[in-house]
Structure 1
Amino acid sequence: MRVIFMGTPDFSVPALRAIAASHEVVAVYSQPPRAAGRGQKPRPSPVHRTADELGLPVRTPERLKSPEDQAEFAALDADVAVVVAYGLILPQAVLDAPRLGCLNIHASLLPRWRGAAPIHRAIMAGDAETGVAIMQMEAGLDTGPVLAETRTLIGPQDTTADLHDRLSAMGAELITRTLENLPLPATQQPADGVTYANKIDKAEARIDWNRPATEIDRQIRALSPFPGAWCMIGEERVKLLRSRLTEGSGVAGQVITGFVIACGEGAIEILEAQREGKRPMPASEILRGLTLPESLG
């Protein structure tokens, strides 16, 4: 089929590679290059770089609202557009242009966790499972009918980074199977069970040791690697990137032993952390160069 691919971050790359291996990708749409790095030079997105590697034409409009942009999109005469974390709202004229419409790969089991941060929110809420849904796009925010889905358990030590990579690969496989079998019957999302995955706010990242260990453990894993849940260790701000629930009790924030910290209820063990200006390191390596105080802030 003639496919338009629309995506921007690393999460989208496996799907682009999988589709390009089986179909004619007539154009790749991605966010414009953004200033990054020490020199603040414009840097193409991961999808843009992958498209260049594959020899695919790339378009990077700031928006898709102008008649000219929409006419160029329609002129591609695509059978379908596949959208994966593109980052722009698609006007109705764009949604309607491909013969089979626009399909979105969404990293949740819709209607749970519509919106910007479904992986983070699933872990933070303590969900037992998540997955990937292929949705027929419409004007509402992730409200369209679902054509296919696949599920995975959320393990007790899974971080957002872990689930990101797993769901990205699952999405690539699922969209490939979906495109092979189009058109497919679509199932309307139920009205019950709708939740919204609001964008992560950095204000959510500071750890309050008075909260239960289960909540702090989810916070650490959900915000790893970015923005990274953090606490003060002495005068230094340290990101905590991996953790697990463990036995122990004490005053909230108390260092019980090693890197085991008492919480408002229960305790957690820190498995990986990152000091300021340093790379992420296992807890055992961190403790060789950092003496923990009696309690953390």
Structure 2
Amino acid sequence: MPSVAFMGSHPLGERCLELLTGDDDFRVKLVVTYGPDEDTWWDGCLYDRAERLGHTVVTRADERDVLDYDVDYLLSVYYPNILGEELLDHPNVAPLNLHQAELPRYRGSNVFSHAIMNAREDDHWKYGTTFHVMAPDVDAGDVLARDFVPIRETDTARTLYDRVTEASVAMFREHLQTLKDGQVHQLATPQAAYEGERYFYTKESLDGEKLIPPERLAADDEATQLAVYDKIRALDFPPFQPAYTELGGHRVQLTAASYTDIFDDASVPEFDVEREATSTALAQD
């Protein structure tokens, strides 16, 4: 029976923990997350949920308590701290992370926003989620699995976040069997094997991006109009401050609940959720 230390947050973290708890082939020995009184922007509380599920729970300040438990896997799902090598080396089989972005294309933070802003120029109209082995460098470990959802021309960063969450849950559920079989390292693919653009964004990567000057909004060339449109959508992620402009000394927020009417006839390719083959199949290509 594989044993797990689960480190996470967000509704996605809750759903993945529920899947582990409901599978009799796993034993969750410890959960590490935000404290129940910490102010977070998302709905729900993994700490409370883990307690209701009967798990031992500690806050991020006590993350090194993981070292007191003999575990096969360290599973990270939206865990905010960068883990040191001692923690990464601790599990008997592997430390794994569910990264809500396509690796190796998008490492780091704010990737929902950057993927929308890059989609048109890169002609890359899909967004990924990746299950990977953790390494000392952020988001740099071998890839166990990837799934994709479309980036639509009416998406905001928040709608893209909501859509890829469903793909992430499905991918996590599917690959629990891989963990049971102990086949993680046999199936994982080094990131060097993948082609395509590669980006790394820090948590500060959107600083200074939200102010859009009025003259840029008034530009009449199509390229600028599309770039502004894409930036507004990319920075639309309630409850955070959206893009804005300044008129007459007043800040005007640039956001909308729906962009469907604006780009209803846009000729953007539609993608179904794509499930990649495991690395075994990739190696045969």
Q: TM-score, normalised by structure 1?
A: 0.71
Amino acid at match of 1:203: G
Instruction: Answer whether contact 2:10 2:43 (CA < 8 A) is retained.
Output: no
- 1:54 shift after superposition: 2.3
Per the alignment, do residues 169 and 16 of structure 1 end up closer, same or farther by CA in structure 2, a change over 3 Å counting? farther
Match of residue 229, structure 1, among 230, 243, 251: 243
Per the alignment, do residues 227 and 17 of structure 1 end up closer, same or farther by CA in structure 2, a change over 3 Å counting? farther
Match of 1:31 in 2: 34
Kindly report structure 1 stretches of 4+ aligned residues shifted beyond 6 Å.
none
Alignment partner of 1:138: what SS?
Answer: coil
Q: What pairs up with 1:1-297 in 2 under 5 angstroms?
A: 1-22=2-23, 23-32=26-35, 36=39, 46-62=45-61, 64=63, 69=64, 72-126=65-119, 127-182=124-179, 183-184=183-184, 185-190=187-192, 193-199=197-203, 200-209=205-214, 210=216, 212-225=224-237, 226-232=240-246, 236-242=250-256, 243=259, 246=262
Instruction: Answer whether contact 2:12 2:169 (CA < 8 A) is retained.
Output: no
Amino acid at match of 2:190: Q
Instruction: Answer whether contact 1:114 1:195 (CA < 8 A) is retained.
Output: yes
Deviations 1:82-136 (CA, angstroms, capped at 9, x unpaired): 1112111111111111122111111122111100122121112124111111110
Instruction: Answer whether contact 1:5 1:27 (CA < 8 A) is retained.
Output: yes
Per the alignment, do residues 82 and 244 of structure 1 end up closer, same or farther by CA in structure 2, a change over 3 Å counting? same
Deviations 1:184-236 (CA, angstroms, capped at 9, x unpaired): 31100027532112324342111234261211111111111223111235554
Instruction: Answer whether contact 2:213 2:246 (CA < 8 A) is retained.
Output: no
- 1:148 shift after superposition: 0.6
Instruction: Answer whether contact 1:14 1:168 (CA < 8 A) is retained.
Output: no
Amino acid at match of 1:229: A
Q: Kindly, what percent of the aligned residue pairs are identical?
A: 27
Match of 2:270 in 1: none
- 1:35 shift after superposition: 5.2
**Following the alignment from structure 1 to structure 2, what is the Cα–Cα distance between the partners of residues 36 and 120?**
23
Alignment partner of 1:125: what SS?
Answer: helix
Amino acid at match of 1:179: L
**Following the alignment from structure 2 to structure 1, what is the Cα–Cα distance between the partners of residues 157 and 48?**
24
**Following the alignment from structure 2 to structure 1, what is the Cα–Cα distance between the partners of residues 173 and 260?**
36
**Which structure's residues are more often strand, by fraction?**
1
Per the alignment, do residues 197 and 13 of structure 1 end up closer, same or farther by CA in structure 2, a change over 3 Å counting? farther
Bigger mean CA offset, 228-237 vs 150-159: 228-237
**Following the alignment from structure 1 to structure 2, what is the Cα–Cα distance between the partners of residues 62 and 44?**
22
**Which structure's residues are more often helix, by fraction?**
2
Alignment partner of 2:255: what SS?
Answer: strand
Deviations 1:64-86 (CA, angstroms, capped at 9, x unpaired): 5xxxx3xx313322221211121
Per the alignment, do residues 230 and 13 of structure 1 end up closer, same or farther by CA in structure 2, a change over 3 Å counting? farther
- Tell me, which stretches of 5 or more residues in structure 2 are unaligned? 218-223, 264-285
Alignment partner of 2:244: what SS?
Answer: strand
Of structures 1 and 2, the one with the larger relative CO (CA 8 A, separation 6+) is 2
Per the alignment, do residues 35 and 80 of structure 1 end up closer, same or farther by CA in structure 2, a change over 3 Å counting? closer
**Following the alignment from structure 1 to structure 2, what is the Cα–Cα distance between the partners of residues 172 and 25?**
18
- 1:63 shift after superposition: 6.5
- 1:151 shift after superposition: 0.9
- How many residues of Structure 1 are paired with residues of Structure 2 in the alignment? 236
- 1:17 shift after superposition: 2.3
CA RMSD of superposed structures (Å): 2.7
- Tell me, which stretches of 5 or more residues in structure 1 are unaligned? 38-42, 248-297
Match of 2:271 in 1: none
- 1:44 shift after superposition: 11
Amino acid at match of 2:4: V
- 1:11 shift after superposition: 4.0
